[in-house]
Amino acid sequence: MRPVHVLAAAGAALVSLSALSACGKNDDAAPKGGSGAIEVTATDSSCEVGAKSTSAGAVTFKVTNKGSQVNELEILAPDGKIVSERENIGPGTGAEVTVQLSAGTYKVMCSAGMTGKGPSQALTVTGQGKAVDPRLDQAVAAYRTYVAEQVDDTLTKATKFAAAVKAGDVTKAKELYAPSRVGWERIEPVAESFGDIDPKVDLREADLKQGDRWTGWHQIEKALWKTGSLQGEGPYADQLVKDLQTLKTKVGTASITPTSMANGAKELLDEVATGKVTGEEETFSHTDLVDFKANVDGAQKVYELLKAIVKERNPDLATTLDDEFAKVQKMLTKYEKGDGYVPYDTVGAKDRKDLSDEVNALGEPLSKLAAVVAR
């Protein structure tokens, strides 16, 4: 299941706004209505694309679903990878997809029933246009590798954790709990883009809705630290591993762009600000600082991959981000203990405020990263 589309739509309108008001300070700019968009008409068995070629740069597809099934628009790169997609286009409705395309031959595919298969038409993109900086493609590719590594890491460690849980070894399970989450926490925004996995593995008790079945790390966390018994936890441990295996099989299909990477980095800091600094994430184990560190590392990885471009386009932002990442990392070292961190319930109010100040100090400039790499 993909996110609801209402706000994503508003986002698209703003993108076209920004294209017209380069300085970004002109509040009067209005979006140009639809002209220049490539019309796509989808039915249950056809996919008519209103152009055979276009020039490189930002290309907008305006898709209309005239069929009877829910449809999906996919733009496939010359190598077959999904460049962009739009799911859940209901019968009789339409959607717009804007995507940065460099020269090459793409496929525009309509997938009735959202099976990932369907009729397609070739689209040749020519010229330089505002072609994507190849370093951005490299950054995305490197990030995909990183994401895959982190998923592997979390799966390996969660498997060991699950084994300890199933063996009823409370001490061992407690020891393995926080490390098993590190890979997940580093790439959480990507993992969360698969909407069904996140609630299964990382839901907190406080977020349960009536009738929800609570599974995942935090369910076991409660058993370990609050109940102190692993009786009946075996199935939960198995389920956690199973869900992470599903993530592993799916993660390669995640839609990742430089913008989504940058937004993900910002969201990792949001996670720290709303969940970790407050001590809400790990309410029983108090291992919040382990997650905190993993979130920061994940955000820093994104920044490092995009840094060369940020340095060129906004050197002041690069300086600030270098400085603030260094500061928050230094601040975290203060709380190191053994291979991990001190329990968060031992961190006093004054220290929590210092951490919170630093999260704001880093989160604010980090929120500017997406716009820098999006252009």
Contact between 326 and other proteins per CB under 8 A:
no
Number of Cβ within a 10 Å radius of residue 345: 12
CB 86 within 8 A of CB 18: no
Supply the minimum distance, in Å, between the C-beta of residue 167 and other proteins.
28
Q: Is 260 exposed, middle or buried (0-12, 13-18, 19+ CB in 10 A)?
A: buried
Beta strands in 270-352 (DSSP E): 336-337, 340-341
What's the Rg (C-alpha) of the chain? 23
Number of Cβ within a 10 Å radius of residue 128: 10
Contact between 260 and other proteins per CB under 8 A:
yes
The first and second tokens of residue 196, run together, are 């069904």
Residues 180-219 that bind other proteins (CB under 8 A): 188-190, 192-193, 195, 198-199, 202-204, 206-207
Number of residues binding to other proteins, judged by CB under 8 A: 79
Residues 265-284 that bind other proteins (CB under 8 A): 266-267, 270-271, 274-275
Supply the minimum distance, in Å, between the C-beta of residue 238 and other proteins.
21
Among 9, 141, 167, 326, which residue sits at the site for other proteins (rule: CB under 8 A)? 9
What type of residue sits at position 328? V
Phi and psi dihedrals of 133, rounded to 5?
Answer: -55, 125
CB 12 within 8 A of CB 58: no
Supply the minimum distance, in Å, between the C-beta of residue 349 and other proteins.
9
Q: Which stretch binds other proteins (CB under 8 A): 45-53, 104-112, 257-265, 333-341?
A: 257-265
Q: Which stretch binds other proteins (CB under 8 A): 18-26, 101-109, 237-245, 337-345?
A: 18-26
Residues 66-105 that bind other proteins (CB under 8 A): 84-86, 93-99
The first and second tokens of residue 65, run together, are 């679903």
User: Which residues in 350-367 are b (16+ Cβ under 10 Å) and which e?
Assistant: eeeeebeebbeebbebbb
The first and second tokens of residue 128, run together, are 């330089």
Residues 227-256 that bind other proteins (CB under 8 A): 255-256
Nearer to other proteins, 176 or 256 (CB): 256
Supply the minimum distance, in Å, between the C-beta of residue 16 and other proteins.
7
Site string for other proteins, 128-167 (x = CB under 8 A): ----------------------------------------
